[in-house]
Structure 1
Amino acid sequence: MPEAAPSPSPAPKPKSAPQKAMEKLGLLRDIDLALHLPLRYEDETKLTPMAALREGEPAQVEGVVTDCQVEARARKQLLVRVADDSGSVLLRFLHFYPSQQRQMAVGTRLRLRGEARVGFFGREMVHPVVKVVIEDTPLATALTPVYPASAQLPQAYLRKAVASGLARADLRELLPEGVVPRELPSLKEALQFLHHPPPKVSLAQLEDHSHPAWQRLKFEELLAQQLSQRQAKLEREKLRAPVLKASQGGLVERLLAVLPFSLTAAQQRVVEEIAQDLARPQPAHRLLQGDVGSGKTVVAALSALVAIDAGWQCALMAPTEILAEQHFRKLVDWLEPMGIRVAWLTGSVKGKARQAMLDRAASGEAQLVVGTHAVIEDKVRFARLGLAVIDEQHRFGVAQRLALRAKLKGDGPGAGPPQGGASPLGGSEPKATWGPTGSLEPHLLMMSATPIPRTLAMTYFADLDVSTIDELPPGRSPIVTKLFAAGRRLDVIDKIRYEVGQGAQVYWVCPLVEESETVDLRNATETHAELAAALPGQMVGLLHGRMPPKEKAAVMSLFSGGTMSVLVATTVIEVGVDVPNASLMVIEHAERFGLAQLHQLRGRVGRGAKASVCVLIYTAPLSDTGKARLKAMVETTDGFEIARRDLEIRGPGEFMGSRQSGAELLRFADLQEDAPLLQMARRLAPELLERHPGAARAQIQRWLGTKAEFLKA
């Protein structure tokens, strides 16, 4: 007799809307629920006599329904009169169900919470929270939490889920005795207090996060974050990388001898710091930051030459084709006369030309490969990659940077040498192995023209070595920043007419409207037509993100060559464009731009000897944030001061994205207010990892879970 087929397993039960909403908020584990803290609290621990209600103040009252009726005006309204011993209040419901009317029948005792106002019929509440009181329902003994939620996630459902998660979560003390300051409560006590604070607690201390319970959470969070980054750094130190040293009288010295300028003291310092990194057998993981125009490209070129001189390849990746091409042109000018072969690889390089570039990278013929994210695609292989340079690294998403690191380590399909094994390049370490086990990992140098305030670098980049170019090359002209209201647009056009008559060149930047490329394009196109009509005899160009790469390149060539007087562009020219003769930058709707972006755009002028001006055209009324940004732009041209103010305006999470972008890594701590806690966490992290590695791992897992991976990017 044939065996009966096994009965199919029941289909999984579909998730409810609140369950889906909780997943979207990242509330997956019990500890996630326990750490989902209230935004504010409601006091349901006491009752206010109805006669004592004050207009505009939330309060809780209790009384008996004396009247309940639907009034038919322009729209139906449910009006309910409730009274206690001191007086009465009218409840007004503009939206209601028949079941609500039945719930509030005459004679029913109700407990109400809402904001009182004085109407035509005396005191009233509009859409209060209503509870039917059955047999002296007791009052709450703690403040009622109001949690961050969404439309699909009712507070009642979330409160129950959080209470359940808090009860189940493993909140044992993970940290050894003596690590946590004595004045702070245990983590379990802190969380129970913050979810259900007693009625007599200082609401001010809860709201400004200065209460000891908040301090405990912030300390734990900062410690977990510092532990994670310290651990990432220690793990990287176990990896091996090629030892890259420039030879005496080699490529580095040859380039320095032919450059038409001398390095600044700051450039010399960071070149030496990077050279020391590359000479170690551990992979470098360094961030090079410097203000716009501080000369990071030549530092990258000298770093690449260290690798090439040692017989290895270098890859340089930039976020946009315009920026990548800017680097490519400079590097070709500097390096090809020295016999260095440079390959160009972006999404617009197709067909045979693309295959030729891939072959040159794979064979080792190309000693330097410059391009966009196309450099990390699966088909791109390197014979002997010793150094990767990522420019404007914050413009790449976390996933892209993690994929790049995996590829470089040999974990991806595009890593390692071509089949056949032996590298065609000479060098000091011909026996390099490739692959996930025992492989050599290339050194990594990241560059950013968005300076990072020190406290932020300490927190978000604790696993990185940071080099800073803190001076500009001599000969850079000062930039004056001026504000113009939108009504003075014609005055700005008159200024442009005068400037181009004097032989200067001008940028006019239109804002990027993310919701609609069509609106964005129309804005730029209309401005281009307006300026072309206002400036007869002058060439006015248009540059936007939807143009084919060849057209973009042709426009930029005309502008950089001096043939084109005015360039109307969207923010595709934000970084990397270098036209020394351009001395006027006009930014339209400046209030729509972020502070760092405004500073980057302003940095496109002031690159020659001519005094330069940046005009910010704004449309009133301005928000407080908009005013603060424009004020900062007028008051300073120092990128580090701009970064400090940007951090003040936006806060660390938004400033960094998700260490540019994923979920915000610090939810509770404030980098400026909690600097003492941050210093304490930095001091304790190495000691904890060394003496109590198990506790350190558990702390990271509790607080970061999978987010720890983002810190490695």
Structure 2
Amino acid sequence: MKLSSLKGIGQKTEQLFTKAGITDTSQLPYYYPRSYDIYKEPVLISEIDEDGIYTLYLSIASDVEVKPMKKLTITTVFAVDEQNERIKLTWFNMPFMKGALRRGYRYMVRGRVVCRGSLVSMEQPKLYTAAEYELKLHYIQPIYPLVKGLTNNMVTKAVTQYFAMQNNPEEMEYLPKELIERYELKPLYEAIKYIHFPRGINEMQESRKRLAFDEFFGFMMKLENLKSQRTYLENECMIHEGGYAARLISELPYQLTEPQRKAYDEMVADMSGKHVMNRLIQGDVGSGKTIIAVLALLNAVEAGFQGALMAPTEVLAKQHYDTVCELLKKHEFPVTPVLLVGSMSASQKKKAHEQIKDGTADIIIGTNALIQEKVEYNNLGFVVTDEQHRFGVNQRGGLARKGGHPHVCVMSATPIPRTLAIILYGDLDISIINAMPVGRLPIKNAVVGEEYRPNAYRFIMNQAALGHQAYVICPMVEDNEISESENVTDYTVELRKNLPGLTVEGLHGQMAADTKNDIMGRFAKGEIQVLVSTTVIEVGINVPNATVMLIENAEKFGLAQLHQLRGRVGRGNAQSYCIFVSTSKKEEAKQRLDIIGKSNDGFYIAEQDLKLRGPGDFFGIRQSGDMSFTLADIYTDADMLKKAKDCADYIIENNLQNTLKKAFSQNDVML
């Protein structure tokens, strides 16, 4: 059904929903809230230990002051709570508040509180009488991801209308009643409805658990399908260790680490064995996975086959291409590499397609352009996908299907606890590279409060004076009305003031692909000294000259993701540094950041992340990119992951065909 059939949605509003990825009413229930605004009990100012949304019962303690500025009007007043603690209230472009406030009167005041030393302030607060707020108390407001022009109220109204139209909600369910009871799951329709409009925190948690289960279950079903197709395939591409790889190993300016050598030997054994290789190489950031892939690619070429390497971003694909070209030239290997990415011109793509088809291309490197229908391989024998968690399960098999039955290697720099890795990569054998190259300097870490920020800026200036570069990860967006792009732009402007003389540029996920590639390319060339970014740089850029990373609001990221971000520095020979800035005073946040501040071991950090995250720890903006799930998180929802695996196994073992068909159909909608 068209969105325009809903009340209040005209052509312009429909276009806004389309920009957000919603083109039909059937997609509305799966447009999950990104967070929730919960109307909690009022607190005292002395009880506030970090910035956030609070409700205070205040008495107006000063006259209202209205200051007209060039582009806005600022209205301020001071108020006190029952302990006589003071707070400054500020409104922008709302001069009429002067007439709404009376000195000595008491109001329920709700808004974002910011603590800066002894000054406590609240911006754009809303006023309620005690009776009005009593009616709001414990109400849970869904907060949706938005595009410019689309408001939270628009989405809420559309989703409300969708649920009002449902006559047979039980038809959504695809699992038999016995399995719903066995795994203690909420019925699917209830879970979807109450993830949007929960009547309490417990109901919200139970709804989210069910939907996390469904995402994992769909993933497992597709994984089992891949596994059944590939596990026992006979090896049609016999590839042994050749002279190229052996010579490269002997001529490298460093020795392979023991885990690198073990992973390489396992690949050689697989590729020359009875069955097709399906192997995951899991290694920490900077542990040397790429050289192992290059060695295997050389073996494939020397055995008469083509090899392909697929990266998640154009920048990373180009960097891999440059690395391979440099190695081939330096060691004089008669091997032809070809690059294929989306931004290439039509003539460049045509030439690449011809070289791939006629076999003159030996090693093909690119993005998901490598799995497009028009790309025909001459004799594909080996496939590598880099940073696997950025690709879905369908893409994992997409490149492999381009050949007959090529060997498959998946590389991931996301350290996942082995118990979860075995489930998530059930169709793959696993090699782990858990040692860093000899001579690599460990990153020096500092966990600091926001009062340290001026020192951090001076440190970045000093590193820039030495010829180095820095990343600054932008504070996470919490205001529902502020877009990611506006947040990065504002912070970039602020940094330019604090880092005079340095070239500072911003990067965010809402930019066009060619713009992002251009900025990352300029940073890689050293033309940009400080790159302000969201987590879009977590994967896809390798700049050895970058020695500093400053992460704002570090307490709001998962430990595994903080480690991934930190991995953008420490990739060269110079000493590198990571500064984690936290605004939280909570003991839990301190405990978590202490772990990453004291360790550079991604596998240890991942295990600790799994232990620390509770099943209810999902409030706030979800920033994790693990496995491309929309709502589920492999750490927070580890229990649901195990249940989904068990359920998928049960359905397949008992050949419940009807359930299987319905499960695939339902998860195609949800995933």
Band the TM-score falls in, shorter-chain normalisation: 0.5 to 0.7
Deviation at 1:291, TM superposition (A): 0.8
Equivalent residue, structure 1, for 2:67: none
1:457 alignment partner, one of 399, 409, 421: 421
Equivalent residue, structure 2, for 1:335: 328
Deviation at 1:587, TM superposition (A): 3.3
Deviation at 1:292, TM superposition (A): 0.6
Whether 2:212 is the aligned partner of 1:246: answer no
CA contact (8 A) 1:264 1:471 kept: yes
Please list the CA deviations of residues 171-195 of structure 1 after superposition, one character each: whole Å capped at 9, or x if unmatched: 86889xxxxxxxx967999979x99
Matched to 2:566, the amino acid is R
Equivalent residue, structure 2, for 1:70: none
C-alpha separation in 1, matches of 2:270 and 2:321: 24
Question: How do 1:238-637 and structure 2 match up within 5 A?
Answer: 242-247=236-241, 249-280=242-273, 282-336=275-329, 337-396=332-391, 398=392, 402=394, 405-406=397-398, 408-410=400-402, 440-500=404-464, 503=466, 505-511=468-474, 515-517=483-485, 519-521=487-489, 523-524=491-492, 527-528=495-496, 530-533=498-501, 540=503, 542=505, 544=507, 547=515, 552-553=520-521, 555-558=523-526, 566-570=529-533, 573-575=537-539, 577-580=541-544, 582-588=546-552, 590=554, 595-608=559-572, 610-618=574-582, 620=583, 630-637=593-600
Equivalent residue, structure 1, for 2:29: 25
Deviation at 1:333, TM superposition (A): 2.0
CA contact (8 A) 1:543 1:552 kept: no
Matched to 2:387, the amino acid is E
- The secondary structure found in structure 2 opposite 1:476 is coil
Matched to 1:24, the amino acid is L
- After superposition, the CA RMSD in angstroms is 5.3
Deviation at 1:301, TM superposition (A): 0.5
Equivalent residue, structure 1, for 2:19: none
Structure 2 portions without partners, runs of 5+: 9-23, 32-98, 101-128, 138-154, 192-199, 478-482
Please list the CA deviations of residues 424-464 of structure 1 after superposition, one character each: whole Å capped at 9, or x if unmatched: xxxxxxxxxxxxxxxx1333322211112233323333233
C-alpha separation in 2, matches of 1:627 and 1:295: 32
Please list the CA deviations of residues 392-437 of structure 1 after superposition, one character each: whole Å capped at 9, or x if unmatched: 12223x3xx6357446525xxxxx7xxxxxxxxxxxxxxxxxxxxx
Equivalent residue, structure 2, for 1:428: none
Please list the CA deviations of residues 37-94 of structure 1 after superposition, one character each: whole Å capped at 9, or x if unmatched: xxxxxxxxxxxxxxxxxxxxxxxxxxxxxxxxxxxxx99xxxxxxxxxxxxxxxxxxx
Whether 2:660 is the aligned partner of 1:700: answer yes
C-alpha separation in 2, matches of 1:460 and 1:613: 32
Question: How do 1:137-216 and structure 2 match up within 5 A?
Answer: 151-152=157-158, 166=170
Deviation at 1:383, TM superposition (A): 1.5
Please list the CA deviations of residues 198-239 of structure 1 after superposition, one character each: whole Å capped at 9, or x if unmatched: xxxxxx9x97999xxx99999999889766644431222365
C-alpha separation in 2, matches of 1:171 and 1:582: 50
Matched to 1:459, the amino acid is I
- The secondary structure found in structure 1 opposite 2:279 is strand
Question: How do 1:5-20 and structure 2 match up within 5 A?
Answer: none
Matched to 2:291, the amino acid is V
CA contact (8 A) 2:306 2:361 kept: yes
Please list the CA deviations of residues 521-573 of structure 1 after superposition, one character each: whole Å capped at 9, or x if unmatched: 4533653564343x7xxxx56574664856754552347xxxx8x44343565
Equivalent residue, structure 2, for 1:71: none
Deviation at 1:298, TM superposition (A): 0.6
Select the structure of larger CA radius of gyration: 1
Query: Size of the alignment, in residue pairs?
Result: 522
Residues 368, 225 of structure 1: CA spacing in aligned structure 2 closer, same or farther, 3 A cutoff? closer
Equivalent residue, structure 1, for 2:605: 642
TM (normalized to structure 2)? Answer: 0.62
- The secondary structure found in structure 2 opposite 1:293 is coil
Please list the CA deviations of residues 581-611 of structure 1 after superposition, one character each: whole Å capped at 9, or x if unmatched: 5443333454565544432232233345554
Question: How do 1:65-80 and structure 2 match up within 5 A?
Answer: none
C-alpha separation in 2, matches of 1:326 and 1:543: 21
Matched to 2:601, the amino acid is D
CA contact (8 A) 1:504 1:583 kept: no
Equivalent residue, structure 2, for 1:233: 227
Deviation at 1:253, TM superposition (A): 1.1
Structure 1 portions without partners, runs of 5+: 1-10, 28-73, 76-117, 129-148, 176-183, 196-203, 411-415, 417-439
- The secondary structure found in structure 2 opposite 1:466 is strand
